[in-house]
Amino acid sequence: MQELGRLEDLPLEYCDALSEQNLVPLWPSLRAVLPPGKPIPRTRATRWSYSAIKPLLLKAGELTPIEKAERRVLVLANPGHGLEKMQASAAIYLGMQLLLPGEWAPAHRHTPNAVRMIVEGEGAYTTVDGEKCPMRRGDLILTPTGLWHEHGHDGDQPVVWLDVLDLPLVYYMEASYHVDGPRQEVRADLGRAAFRQGGGVLPSPLFERSAKRYPMLRYAWSDTRAALESLAAAQPGLEAVQVSYVNPETGEDTQNILGYYALMLRPGQSLPLPARSPAMVFHLIEGAARVAADDAAFTLEEADTCCVPGFSKVVLRNTSADQPAFLFIADESPLHRKLGVYEVRN
């Protein structure tokens, strides 16, 4: 490969003249922005232990009242990007959020898309666009771009969930902002019950589809787990027992930038994944698992989370010989496909 000229090879007065005109020579930095063969990721394979996070999160509940925090979150920051950047990958933000009994996190809406994967606790809820969504372990709740949402807690134990947002990308685009709002009025029936109880049919009054961009906001873990178990039983030879969280009307991804999936590993199963361009996040809902990504490997206990960079060869293994393992996965696939840079390497 041809060696390119360096910045220090240029006369200082020439560099100063460029700077005065807000100009920068490309060739000294060309290999950095267009490396040969594949990207050089800043994202590092990183694991966040829930057993280490939980006491720090509960301590945050003692130190900072919800009125001073608005959203009481510890950000899962990837050291490859710098902890101050508060991002897990180029396009994924992760945070562990705590809501204590009796607390209310006020209504707002914002441009980044968000989902909530419930980690533990009972009695909390998220109200999204007027729909009150109970929060139970393993549930996935959408708070899409532009929709009002707030969190409340009527129970007696702390509730914790994993936030997943496309905040890094929206912030990079200089499109990130929020708007505060009043407490929402909960509406009893918004027509979304038909999607949750679907049975293969969808409401289509006068043969027209719903005008709602997000016809389903809560994906109950009880339903998702049952779907995975049914799939595994029906197809015992199926290698990857995985389902995608989709818009029930269109079959497309639930949101525009990040994709979400649930995966079941049979007892003792080892599952190799192809090297793909998007970064991936793995969150263990139930069981025990090991995630190996190129030169890194992590053992996950329940509620642990890890992130691997794009183009990593990943192997997932259920470390239990007699119990299945269930993982929630988030990745950047929808964004990569829209940009035309999605790639798989075997």
Assign domain 46-345 to its CATH architecture: Sandwich (2.60)
pLDDT tens, the chain, 346 aa long: 788 999 999 999 999 999 999 999 999 999 999 999 999 999 999 999 999 999 999 999 999 999 999 999 999 999 999 999 999 999 999 999 999 999 999 999 999 999 999 999 999 999 999 999 999 999 999 999 999 999 999 999 999 999 999 999 999 999 999 999 999 999 875 555 555 555 556 666 655 655 668 889 999 999 999 999 999 999 999 999 999 999 988 889 999 999 999 999 999 999 999 999 999 999 999 999 999 999 999 999 999 999 999 999 999 999 999 999 999 999 999 999 999 999 999 7
What's the confidence (pLDDT) of residue 271? 98
What's the confidence (pLDDT) of residue 200? 56
Where along the chain do its domains lie? 1-36, 46-345
What's the confidence (pLDDT) of residue 1? 74
Calculate the CA 74 to chain-centre distance: 15
User: Would you state the torsion angle of the CA atoms of residues 279, 285, 288, 291, taken in this order, to the nearest 10 degrees?
Assistant: 0
What's the confidence (pLDDT) of residue 77? 98
Q: How far apart are CA 77 and CA 205, in angstroms?
A: 46
Do 322 and 288 meet the contact criterion of CB atoms below 8 Å apart? no
Q: How far apart are CA 336 and CA 200, in angstroms?
A: 30
What's the confidence (pLDDT) of residue 57? 98
